[in-house]
Amino acid sequence: MTNQIANAIPQKAAKVAGWAYLLIIVSSILSMIFGPYKLSVPGDVSATVTNIMANETLFRIGAAYDLLMFAGVIILAFYLYVTLKSVNKNLAFLAMLWRVAEAIIGCLMVFSSLIVLLLLNGENYTEVFETEQLQALVGLFLDVKPVSVSMLFVFIGLGTIVNCYLFYKSQYIPRILAVLGMISFSLVLIAALMTIITPNNAAAIDIAAKALATIWEVVIGLWLIVKGINVKQWEKRNLESV
């Protein structure tokens, strides 16, 4: 009975991490399709402002939704740490910190969106700034998001590469799955850095890298939910650490 309870602990953590993977991926895709992102008109701040003001509730729902999604990232980071700390506690903790940094950047992105609403709804700002000046300021805060996304993906890449290395070393999941994760998120990391350094030349690799990473996250999420981790390897790791 004691062994069954002990074995249930890593499996429960792995399954929670699997559900977190799927929920984050599905919610981010749905948000892109149906969320406030469609309010943005590239290259036309005036039209974007008009759309935001006409759909303010949708814009606010999107901000709240994103906050919950990044809260999910922290849940994922924690349960991956619980699952992988027996392999290498320091590396597992480092990976968790990088994923938490991702969540912090994401929350700052949401904060910049809420500042846009403050500027557009605040009478003090409309009295101080001319319409063109106010729109330029709003455009600046809206432009923060694409830059922040690149920074966010740097930390996603770093954290996931380390987690995949620990999965590979531990053999908790098939090693080929861990290797594919390291490859996919190495490309994500490279694409994010290229977007920061040479944004005009990074579009193709960025799309390909994110597509591969999304597929991998769906697969690892389903694997952890259905199969969990290799309990024998987990027991072996824990015996070695005693």
Give me the pLDDT at residue 130, please: 76
Please say if the pLDDT value at position 239 is more than 80: no
d(CA 70, CA 108): 11
Find out whether 127 and 90 touch, Cβ atoms under 8 Å.
Answer: no
The CA-based angle 9-165-199, given to 5 degrees, is 120
Residue 151 resides in a domain? yes
Structural domain span for residue 132: 9-241
Phi, psi of 40 (to 5 degrees): -75, 135
DSSP state of 174: -
Q: What is the pLDDT of residues 161-210, one digit of tens each?
A: 999 999 999 999 999 999 999 999 999 999 999 998 988 887 888 889 99
Please say if the pLDDT value at position 129 is more than 80: no
Q: What is the pLDDT of residues 94-128, one digit of tens each?
A: 999 999 999 999 999 888 888 888 888 877 776 77
Give me the pLDDT at residue 184, please: 96
Give me the pLDDT at residue 225, please: 94
Residue 4 resides in a domain? no
Q: Which residues are CB-contacts of 127 (< 8 A; sequence separation ≥ 6)?
A: none
d(CA 153, CA 159): 10
Alpha helices per DSSP H over the chain = 2-34, 45-54, 56-84, 89-121, 123-128, 131-170, 175-197, 203-226, 231-241
Both tokens assigned to 41: 């008109």
pTM above 0.75, yes or no: yes
Q: What is the pLDDT of residues 32-90, one digit of tens each?
A: 766 666 777 777 788 888 888 888 888 888 888 888 889 999 999 999 999 999 899 99
Residue 66 resides in a domain? yes
Give me the pLDDT at residue 6, please: 45
Q: How many domains does the chain have?
A: 1
Give me the pLDDT at residue 156, please: 96
Find out whether 18 and 221 touch, Cβ atoms under 8 Å.
Answer: yes
